[in-house]
Amino acid sequence: MYQLRPALPDDAPAIRALVYQARLNPIGLKWQAFVVAKSAQGQVIGCGQIRQHRAGVCELASIVVHPDWRLRGVARAIIERLLAAQSGSIYLLCRAELGAFYIRFDFRVVEEANMPAYFRHISRMFRWWARIRRSSPGLLVMKRP
């Protein structure tokens, strides 16, 4: 069993640790924007946030679940909680293999020409980096209307 709740100041180190462990973008980690999942023993086992960008653009971000708690619906519960509190469009960046997961939440892939500047910049940088490494880009920008 686990419980979802808005993050508190004491959760900040655990949020940071989960995000770094998952090798996600650590920029903009403001504990106030996070929802956390806590185990019955009080351990932060998952987290996620709505990150605010310029011009009112919002991003579903930093969705992480501790490896021992994966495939138990924790990420889904966090995402549903965050989306329920959000009105308007919301974007996300994810690895291509996670696209099908986010489609379940009504997210759809966005073409580069239709992306806000921040996401277009990240998409181009990632594509450039993939060319240097000679690998497939593997990054999706998705939007939920």
CA-CA distance, 71 to 127, in Å (whole number)? 30
Which domains are present in the chain? Answer: 1-88 (3.40.630.30), 89-145 (no CATH)
DSSP secondary structure code for residue 129 in this structure? H
pLDDT at 103: 97
pLDDT in tens for each of the 145 residues of the chain?
999 999 999 999 999 999 999 988 888 789 999 999 999 999 999 999 999 988 889 999 999 999 999 999 999 999 999 999 998 999 999 989 999 999 999 999 999 999 999 899 888 888 877 777 666 658 899 999 8
3-state secondary structure of 21: helix
Choose among 141, 79, 139, 85: nearest CA to 108: 141
